[in-house]
Structure 1
Amino acid sequence: MSLGSSARTSGASRPVPTIAPTSTPDPLVARARLLLLGLFALNGLTFSSWLARLPTVRDELGLSTGQLGSVLLASSAGSLVMVVIAGTLVTRFGGRRVLLASTVGFTLAYAFMGIGPTAGSVAMLVVGVMLNGMSFALCNVPLNVETAAVERRMGRTMLPHFHAAFSIGAVVGSGLGGLASHGGVPLTVQFGVTAVIALAWRLGSISHVVLDTVAAPRRTDLAAPDLGVSDLGVSDLAAQDLAVSEVAAPDRAATGASAAGTAVRRRGLASALDAWREPRTLLIGTVIMAAALSEGSANNWLSLAVVDGFGRAEAVGAVVLAVFIGSMTLVRLFGTRLIDRHGRVAVLRVSGLVALAGLLLFGLAPNLPIAAVGVMAWGFGAALAFPIGIAAASDDPMRAAARVSVISAFSSVASLAAPPLLGLVAQSIGIRHALLLITGAMVVSVLLARSVGRPEQGTLDAVTTVSSVTTVTSSTGETAVTPSPAVTAEPLPLSLPRPRTEPVPSLAGRP
């Protein structure tokens, strides 16, 4: 039966498929999972080890706190600009090239951030800070899409583990930065060593972590015969069809490959822009914005709120911040079963309510011990919102990069706007009470929780293939694959049966 005729009889829409858990995970997926955990931890480590040296940066350049804040805005601005186009870049060039580009950006950023303060150049520091923000935003999209791909293939909730790895890396990075500061290690030495180690780490990992964010197919990108069809994204499926067609009819495949690749690339770029007009994606982005406000405000202001609000030493404020980060990390490590058992929507609603109660308790508590209990609840509730939003945006692998880019832009806007706004309000009512403004965003997140549920029905975008494939099984069990002259643009399923032994993948099982 022809692939085109089967697709036409399957109806205009079908459920978005999921991958069931397997007792023997694919070794490639298992390796990608471990390497992605390492990359998330590395991002946390490099992010916090730089921030831990901000007092040294300020002193070497003779900056005021306000001037340093203006310098740091360059990171948020660069991140916001890059995250808007990151989805398009991933769709056009593929996750591997984007990750390599971000690796180069990180390395240059650390060089500038180390040399700038030592040379007394604020301009060089600003360039480094902006490059760092842009590189972080650029790598964030393919990394989050690939972790969602690992979650789908392993058949259980895993995204919170990757964000827990980031938190653990951040704690380690803060400790290393503190030790470097205590030991009087120059910025150029610390940042130079960090850049070299991070460069080697990323280069050794990138080639093994890309499962979904492949570049749109070109004539030279045809899928290898031994690839499993069930592991391929939509762009891969188009390339797979071309590979099979080339075996059966090389002339027709050669003449049509370029046109098919161009069509798929154009559709992919259009999808990256279309994501900004999808109501569900924008609602998920609002949920992500609330999560970024909650987590980011705690990271930026919590220790200072303890110092000013309760008259305690700076070390006590740091301990309370550690309580918040530790609470989030524990839930991200051990709370995945809650999502598997109760679903995203229920967990997001309960998480929002717990975070809301915790923040109210912290902001209104009469003493520090009660406030610390509120901080713990705040951390518990804030832990899963961001991973749940990323998973929801990645339900459809074909559009995952574009949608993750959109919701990351919402997060960047929150990171850019929240610190100065809260600072202005804090001048009048104090930072502890100013943090209560975030409760409004938490209420919105709870009200929009339904948007993160799995869609019951969905259709993949049309993929133009050069030729359909007809399979004929003989009485001896042998399967012949011949091209059909029809050109189709039909929806294709996300998950297809994996051929095991055929030298050329049989598409007999494709609907």
Structure 2
Amino acid sequence: MDTALSRAQIVRWRTAIFTIFFLSGLSVATWAARVPAIKATLGVDNIQIGFMLLGAGLASIIGLSLASVVLARFGARRGMLGAILTFSVGVALVGIGVDVANSYVLVVVGLALFGLGNGSVDVMMNVEGAAIEKTIGKTILPLFHAFFSFGTVAGAGLGALAIALNSNVLAHTAVIAGLLVLTGLWASANVPAREIAMDPDADPAPTEKPRLRERLSVALSAWKEPRTYTLGIIMLGMAFAEGGANDWLALGIVDGHGAGEALGAIGLAIFSVSMTVVRVFGGPLVDRFGRVATLRVLSVLAASGLLLFILAPNIPMVFVGAALWGAGTSLGFPLGMSAAADDPARAAARVSAAATIGYVAFLCGPPILGFISFHIGVLNTLYILVALAIASGLASGAAKPLPVPAAGSAGDKPPAQPADARPE
């Protein structure tokens, strides 16, 4: 059995997972900040950049799908470290491919490793974040996701600094890759080895450990459960709405409302800030009102914000719609992850399955919207997101916490039940 953790161990564990979320965001923004330099140095066009993005996206989905298998084989601590090292190597290879080998193929390989590692670590860090929630008895997964956003902000800032200093892609990515490796080693060392996380170095004795085939069976079992697909609807709707905003919100302001490019960028910034603020401060609201009620209210906010964004008569109202849109989509993904991890024994399998559904929507949704918008226009296409936000709200009952076991948690006290887990 897992041994109880001291308060100091829990604090180090929580800090380590905050750090891993931050590192994932940092790596994503590092690549994104240097796309123009990569394009110019390699002499590629937008179609070739699109193939780069497609390769990274497909590798991310593979990483998501394999995460539960990695957990079953290596456990959470080693699995997360391996994933961090993988995307660190990918970041470094991008720089080498651009400034040393001048090789489009090597950059694609680097991005594939980058996507594979990030996709895999995404599941494992969410499993660990959900386990911390159970240990401390508070909703904290939205705050973990806010740290991913902080990582993207830091990555964008460091990218801007590197450009201002005339640093080439190789020097920039080498520094970031080194930072990722060193910080990842520290973070993984502060994640406690736990039997429930399938860590090989956790007790019990080797003779008591389930065989790999049994662990794999547990790891893949979530795809047979109807609740996984209902949670997937929640995450699909919100991930589609978030991904659609990232790629089409600014264009909707420019092409749909006839504003300038600067106003389009401001609208996207308003969306991102609104989403991050709700993720930072949303945990106590979830603890007070419960997951289901929170998700229903947020789905209404998302749908209302989208409708206001589409139909607004002026730009200030468009910005209000963008803010509501960002707030409404902020917690769907983290709360879906949290719900998927309610049963610690099956957390890895369920989070992997739910995350795969959500990320497929996040990655594949924007291109689908682009194809549709070619025929009916950007703003009309956004009505699809309104429908998906409503569907997410209708499916939110699936996020109701599973019954809490009678036994205490691995921490100093049993976890508190969220509001929607208590008797009516």
Fold conserved between structures, TM > 0.5: yes
Deviation of residue 494 (structure 1)? 6.5
- Deviation of 1:373 after TM superposition, in Å, equals 0.3
User: Which residue type is aligned with residue 191 of structure 1?
Assistant: T
- Whether 1:85 aligns to 2:31 is no
Mean Cα deviation higher: 202-211 or 441-450: 202-211
Counterpart pick for 2:400 among 446, 453, 462: 453
Q: Per-residue displacement from partner, 1:167-208 (whole Å, max 9, x unpaired)?
A: 122122222223323443211111111101111111111111
- Give structure 2 stretches of 5+ with no counterpart: 414-424
Indicate yes or no: 2:209 matched with 1:261. Answer: yes
Q: Quote the Cα distance in structure 2 between the aligned partners of 1:76 and 1:49.
A: 16
Q: 2:424 aligned with 1:442, yes or no?
A: no
Match of 1:495 among 394, 409, 412: 409
Distance in 2 (CA, whole Å) between partners of 1:423 and 1:65 is 15
Q: CA 1:429 to 1:497, structure 2 compared with 1: closer, same or farther past 3 Å?
A: closer
Corresponding letter in the other structure for 2:63: M
Aligned residue among 420, 423, 435 for 2:367: 420
Distance 1:108 1:181 in 2: 22
The secondary structure found in structure 2 opposite 1:347 is helix
* Cα 1:315–1:185 shift into 2, 3 Å: farther
The offset of 1:105, in angstroms, is 0.8
Q: Aligned pair in 2 of structure 1 residues 433, 153: CA closer, same or farther (>3 Å)?
A: same
Letter aligned with residue 409 of structure 2: S
How far is the alpha carbon of 1:121 from its aligned partner?
A: 1.3
- Which among 92, 109, 120 is matched to residue 111 of structure 1? 92
1:305 equivalent in alignment to 2:252: yes
- Contact 2:84/2:118 (CA < 8 Å) preserved in 1? no
Counterpart AA for 1:378: W
Q: Of the candidates 151, 155, 158, which is equivalent to residue 169 of structure 1?
A: 151
Of the three residues 98, 103, 110, the one matched with 1:128 is 110
CA distance in 2, matches of 1:222, 1:31: 18
Shift, 1:69, TM fit: 1.1
Structure 2 matches for 1:117-196, cutoff 5 A? 117-118=98-99, 119-196=101-178
By percentage of residues, which structure has more helix?
2
How many Å apart are 1:400 and its aligned residue? 0.4
Question: Matches of 1:413 and 1:299 in 2, distance apart?
Answer: 15
Amino acid at match of 1:35: A
Q: Which moved more, 1:317-326 or 1:398-407?
A: 317-326
User: Deviations along 1:14-65, whole A, 9 cap, x unmatched?
Assistant: xxxxxxxxxx971111111122112212221221121122122122222222
Secondary structure in 2 aligned to 1:440? Answer: helix
Deviates further, 92-101 or 57-66 = 57-66
- The answer to whether the 8 Å contact 1:142/1:213 transfers is no
Structure 1 gap ranges (5+): 1-23, 224-238, 243-256, 459-491, 500-511
One-letter amino acid of the counterpart of residue 41, structure 1: F
List per-residue Cα deviations over 1:394-442 (Å, max 9, x = no partner): 1111100111110111122113321221111222233233223212211
Give the drift of 1:154.
1.0
Query: Which amino acid is 2:58 matched to?
Result: A
Q: Distance in 2 between matches of 1:423 and 1:309?
A: 14
2: CA distance, partners of 1:387 / 1:179: 31
Q: In structure 1, which of residues 52, 55, 58 is the aligned counterpart of residue 36 of structure 2?
A: 55
Q: Higher mean Cα deviation, 180-189 or 141-150? A: 180-189
Superposed CA offset, 1:124-160 (max 9, x none): 1111111111000111122111111111111111111
> TM-score, normalized by length of structure 2?
0.90
- How many residues align? The count is 408
Q: Work out whether 1:379 is the aligned partner of 2:326.
A: yes
Bigger mean CA deviation after superposition, 25-34 or 352-361 = 25-34
2:312 to 361, 365, 390: 365
**Are the counterparts in 2 of residues 149 and 211 from structure 1 also a CA contact under 8 Å?**
no
**Could you give the per-residue CA deviations for residues 303-322 of structure 1, whole angstroms, max 9, x where no partner exists?**
22222223333332222111
What is the match of residue 472 of structure 1? none
Q: Give the equivalent residue in structure 2 for 1:350.
A: 297
**Correspondence list, 1:213-252, <5 A:** 216=198, 221=201, 223=203, 239=204, 242=205
- Hey, what's the Cα distance between the residues in 2 that align with 1:125 and 1:296? 24
User: How far does residue 83 in structure 1 lie from its aligned partner after superposition?
Assistant: 1.2
Identify the residue that residue 483 of structure 1 maps to in structure 2.
none
* 1:432-453, Cα deviation, whole Å (9 max, x unpaired): 3322321221111111000000
The structure with the largest alpha-carbon Rg is 1
Runs of 4+ with >6 A deviation: 496-499
- Cα 1:57–1:431, aligned 2, differ >3 Å: closer, same or farther? farther
1:334 to 1:113, Cα distance in 2 relative to 1, 3 A: same
Tell me, what secondary structure is at the counterpart of 1:184?
coil
Matched, 1:331 2:312: no
Partner of 2:335: 388
Q: Is the 8 A contact 1:358 1:374 kept in 2?
A: yes
* Cα distance between partner residues in 1 of 2:228 and 2:386: 22
Paired with 1:159 and 1:63, the residues of 2 have a C-alpha distance of 39
